[in-house]
Homo-oligomer: A and B are copies of this chain.
Amino acid sequence: MVCRVTTTDKNHSAAKADAPFCVAVDWGTSSFRLWLLATDGTVLAERRSDEGLILAAREGFANILDQHLARLQVPDTVPVVMCGMVGARGGWLEAAYLPAPLVLEDLALHASPVAGQKRRIHILPGVCQHGEQGFDVMRGEETKLLGAGLRDGLVLMPGTHTKWAQVANGSLSGFSTFMTGELFAHLSHGAASVLRPALEGAGAVAPHSEAFAQAVVESLNAPEQLSNKLFGVRAGWLLEQRPAEDNMARLSGLLIGMEIAGALSIYQRPGTLCLIGAGPGAAAYRQALDVAGFKHITVLDADDCVQRGLMRAALRIHGVEGVGK
């Protein structure tokens, strides 16, 4: 098994003082993240690896989890709460989708126990939607929303399949997935992409790039022209030797601009937008939102949110009395 594992023992002295309360796991298509948490939510230890779903389906979910817990010497009495694609069809156990709208705090009430394990393991459900906007699903983001602790507001969670979610009075009232990141991946790395030569050698999209901002504006103004403007990236490279960095920024800006136009056609422009994310992806969205005239943006770290959401669910499932958030 070839995988990258990082481990952190954040508060070694705290770890001696605080007994571990639960293990929180965010298990996605391509990554595994585990936090050992104390009753007050303190992170006692952390493990990360690229043991995503495909690898786990081959190696065995229980095996992978056990190895990580053994390394941390976590007693069998400490329960595990998980979220993400681990609960999808083809994951460890299918944890059925809950339909939106739903009260986020109630997620834990619908957690699926994994039978036949030496310790208590629960997988949180994903959320589905059958609204007039069409079908939609999420797995993992509902736990981030729970952890974000937002009562009301519009939330943006960038990713390969970016989610926009409306929270009203502590309920997830509706959401929309945009597969912008996947389109970006196909067009920038797909074997058959006609744009690839124009992007060769470009790094990540430069923050505050003029080409990016210009592309966002064009897509906001004429989102229906997307597949024409995309071809223009190739033509600009052929005719004017536009540099790869600009072409990459333009590709990203066109796609994100169209997404923002789409989201604004579904949701009311909020006074404050909550952005849950980190890294270059979230930075690109921040710039695009700025171009699109979003005035106030609150940024939360995605890992913090998922870890807090799993902790809240664990408290609800395992009912520790007198424990703080």
Contact = CB atoms under 8 A, between A and B. Distances in A.
B186 A258 contact: no
Given A137-B239, A182-B194, A183-B227, 11 more contacts: A128-B239, A130-B239, A133-B228, A134-B228, A136-B228, A179-B194, A179-B231, A183-B186, A186-B186, A191-B191, A225-B262
B259 A227 contact: yes
Given A186-B190, A190-B190, A265-B224, A135 B177 contact: no
Residue from A136, A160, A179, A182 with most neighbouring chain B CB atoms (10 Å): A179
Interface string A118-143: 00000000001110011111000000
Contacts of A91: none
18 contacts: A128-B238, A128-B239, A135-B238, A136-B232, A137-B234, A137-B238, A176-B228, A178-B227, A179-B227, A182-B194, A183-B227, A186-B186, A186-B193, A223-B224, A224-B224, A225-B262, A225-B266, A227-B255
B227 A180 contact: yes
Which bracket fits the contact residues of A? Answer: 35 or more
Interface in A222-270: 222-232, 234-236, 238-240, 255, 258-259, 261-262, 265-266
B239 A97 contact: yes
A193 B183 CA distance: 9
A16 interface: no
A227 to B, nearest CB: 4
Total copies of the chain = 2
A224 B179 contact: no
A179 B230 contact: yes
A135 B255 CA distance: 18
A15 B128 CA distance: 67
A235 B177 contact: yes
B265 A231 contact: no
Nearest to A182: B194
A57 interface: no
A303 to B, nearest CB: 23
Contact of A235 (B136, B255, B258): B136
Given A177-B235, A238-B89, A226 B136 contact: no
